[in-house]
Amino acid sequence: MIGVFDSGVGGLTVLKSFLDFLPQYDYVYLGDNARVPYGNKSQETIYNYTKQAVDFLFARGCKLIIIACNSASAKALRRIQQDYLPLKYPGQKVLGVIRPLVEEIVSENNLRSKKDRINKVGIIGTKATINSEVYCKELIKLDPTLEIIQQAAPLLVPLIEEDWSKKPETKMILKKYLRPLKVRGVQTLILGCTHYPFLLKYIRRLMGKKCLIFDPGVSVARSLMAYLSRHPELAIEKTAKPNYFFYTTDSTEHFKELGEKFLGQKIEKIEKIEL
């Protein structure tokens, strides 16, 4: 069983790709909707929230957890992997969403000719993700020649959680966030929050055809496929009739309505829990 954790509904953009690319596995999704957004909270708070989510998902029988939240991946993942897991869950694995997207962009660049190479990379994300500079650090490790331009977009997550992704107010705010990146001529844009693919079509339209924008969920799904093939010792087995369980720390009705709309399928097994 594979666990997927996010501060709210944003991780559904990752789960949707998992169900497209790896539908034969059992999944448990946990959305901490009662405490969303994480992006404006302190590092210690995000770490403690992430620990609680990890405890919950391992207690439900997950053998691998994907932190489908950029803020938690940026502010808590390394500490979870290096300090918490060896102490409490030796041999268990928790992965994030940042490295797969970085690797895909650099891999794409390596396939291009010199004149077509990506030189300017734009990043939008929550304040926590942008302030951590985690994408900058990971990109520079793999390609120190890149020019990186960041833009915090703190209002987008609450708007998406309220199902305002198609409202004109949301599009107006998004346009304001993207304008500095477009003016600077970024050639690819990283959606540094798993909520943002809810706005993917409009983001692509605003940035134009010359700006490459990957779907983060697809990047993470491809990375997970490769990871599972390299780690058979995890013994995560496929099943002919997979089960998908959903948990939220807030209203199940709101989560179900928004989740079904995005996933394009019924959410049958959902429960409200406290962390």
| 225 and 209 together in one domain | no
Per residue in 38-67, pLDDT tens?
999 999 999 999 999 999 999 999 999 999
How confident is the model over 209-213, as a mean pLDDT? Answer: 94
Whether the Cβ atoms of residue 197 and residue 191 lie closer than 8 Å to each other: yes
Domain of residue 122 covers 98-215
Task: List the CATH number of the domain containing 114.
Answer: 3.40.50.1860
- Among the candidates 215, 244, 259, a domain finishes at 215
Residues 133 and 88 in one domain: no
For residues 102 and 210, state if they share a domain: yes
Asked if residue 17 and residue 64 are part of one domain, the reply reads yes
Q: Residue 173's CB: how many other CB atoms inside 10 A?
A: 17
* pLDDT, tens digit, 9 for 90 and up, residues 80-109: 999 999 999 998 999 999 999 999 999 998
Find the Cα–Cα–Cα–Cα dihedral 30, 40, 10, 160, rounded to 10°. Answer: 130
- Whole-prediction pTM: 0.93
Cα–Cα dist 166/184, whole Å: 26
d(CA 197, CA 17): 11
Indicate which residues carry an active-site annotation: 69, 193
What number of other Cβ atoms are within 10 A of residue 184's Cβ?
12
Q: Are residues 69 and 6 in contact, defined by beta-carbon separation less than 8 angstroms?
A: yes
Average pLDDT over residues 205-221: 95
